[in-house]
Amino acid sequence: MESQDLRQAGLKVTLPRVKVLEILENTTQRHMSAEDVYKALLESGEEIGLATVYRVLTQFEGAGLVSRLSIDGGHAVFELEDGSHHDHLLCIKCNRIEEFVDDVIEQRQRAIALEKGFEMTDHSLYIYGICRDCQ
Amino acid sequence: MESQDLRQAGLKVTLPRVKVLEILENTTQRHMSAEDVYKALLESGEEIGLATVYRVLTQFEGAGLVSRLSIDGGHAVFELEDGSHHDHLLCIKCNRIEEFVDDVIEQRQRAIALEKGFEMTDHSLYIYGICRDCQ
DNA sequence: ATGTATGCAAAACATTTGCACCTGG
DNA sequence: CCAGGTGCAAATGTTTTGCATACAT
């Protein structure tokens, strides 16, 4: 139940937060922008402001419930956090997003950070291309 | 000489283009935002509009004279293109940007795209961390 | 009750665009 | 001369914020 997740995350259980979480959990589309979530809310008859959607998603990110991807600069999409780190492949034609995990890359990144004297805190990797269906 | 580079890139040699290119070539700071370039122009006494700086940088990108990096979503910086592909390490404290090349990662990316049926067109990899001097 | 959350409208921000004017070849 | 480039101001799209009101605990 969503209320539990919210309470555990230290967030007060409010209608907008429950509804946004419901949308994220029930969508077939794993990656949604704030606007997408907002539209989905309107479609399910919820009167929630776009500003609130942004606020809620940002809080969810802070609480570790979702993660934010920054696609092509100036457009964020959110995905439910499932604990498993992964990177993304994006189709530049249909905007499909696929996920992948690659231990070799993960390890090399750590090695590079070390070499350069950086304490790695995060990384972002996007592979852009044309997916099977769009070729 | 800058005029040559511009002509070769198929761009008419105009004052704004020459000046922007000069800034990029003479700055110690390899990575500059449009705003940075604009300010540098003002400081060197050039009256060039910010809109023009954006237009020029975009044309330069198209012509392969510079490449555009999209840092943390919604803020682009430009670097002179030197022909060598590389990725970036960013210090989250001092905003320093370092470059690196890693063939293992490059190759793995290609392999992943292939596996997923994507025809890879591009990729972006940023490692975030705290640099030696900021730790 | 009371501190937090929300809605709305307005602001912020980086970037782009329309249009009249200017300029390079 | 004339296509293309520029400056300015206004528009854009996304995200954030101020503030008065509403709500969860």
pLDDT tens sequence across A45-79: 999 999 999 999 999 999 999 999 998 777 899 99
Single-letter code of the amino acid located at A61:
E
The pLDDT tens digits for B90-130 are 998 898 999 999 999 999 999 999 999 999 999 999 999 99
Percent of chain B surpassing pLDDT 70: 100
What is the average pLDDT across A11-27? 97
Count the Cβ atoms, other than its own, within 10 Å of residue B101.
11
| Chain mean position to CA A110 | 23
Nearest by CB to B70, which of A73, A130, A132? A73
C-alpha distances out from residue A103 to A50, A79, A97, A125, Å = 38, 21, 20, 13
Neighbours of B82 (CB within 10 A): 10
* Tokens at A28, concatenated: 């077939």
Q: Which of B54, B71, B77, B89 is the best mutation test for A, with the most CBs of A within 10 A?
A: B89
- Rounded CA-CA distance A94/B82 in Å is 32
CA distance B121 to B109: 11
**What is the per-residue pLDDT across B14-52, written as a single tens digit (0 to 9) for each?**
999 999 999 999 999 999 999 999 999 999 999 999 999
Q: Which residues of B102-123 are buried (b: 16+ CB within 10 A; e: fewer)?
A: beebbebbeebbeebbbebeeb
Q: Enter the tokens of residue A127.
A: 């592979």
Structure tokens at B15: 């004052």
CA of B34 and C1' of D10: distance in angstroms? 20
Using the predicted structure, report yes or no on whether residue B1 has a pLDDT greater than 90: no
Contact call for A124 and B120, based on CB within 8 A: no
pLDDT for B68 beyond 90: yes
Chain B residues near residue A76 by CB distance under 8 angstroms: 73
Q: What is the pLDDT at residue B73?
A: 75
| Interatomic CA distance for residues B73 and B97, integer angstroms | 16
For residue A13, CA distances in Å to A6, A8, A20, B57, B68 come to 6, 10, 12, 47, 42
Whole-number Å distance between alpha carbons of A31 and A80: 8
pLDDT single digits (tens) A73-118: 778 999 999 999 999 999 988 889 999 999 999 999 999 999 999 9
Cβ distance B87 to B51 under 8 Å?
no
Whether residue B93 lies within 8 A of chain A, CB to CB, comes out as: no
What was the pLDDT predicted at A73?
73
What residue has token string 């990662």?
Answer: B105
pLDDT value, residue B77: 97
Residues of B in contact with A71 (CB under 8 A): 73
Which residues in chain A have Cβ-Cβ distances shorter than 8 Å to B93? none
Q: Which two tokens stand for residue A31?
A: 């990656």
Distance CA(B8)–CA(B133), nearest Å, equals 41
Q: How confident is the model at residue B62 (pLDDT cuts 50, 70, 90)?
A: very high
Q: pTM here?
A: 0.92
A16 contacts A48 by C-beta, under 8 angstroms: yes
In degrees and rounded to multiples of 5, residue B86 shows phi and psi of -155, 165
Judged by a CB distance cut-off of 8 A, whether residue B50 touches chain A is no
Which residue has the closest alpha carbon to C7 C1'? Answer: A49
Structure token digits, residue A10: 């230290």
B74: pLDDT confidence band, cut at 50, 70 and 90? confident
- Choose the closest CB to A123 out of B102, B121, B128: B128
Cα–Cα nearest to A46, from A56, A37, A33, A54: A37
Q: From CA B103, how far away is CA B109, in angstroms rounded?
A: 10
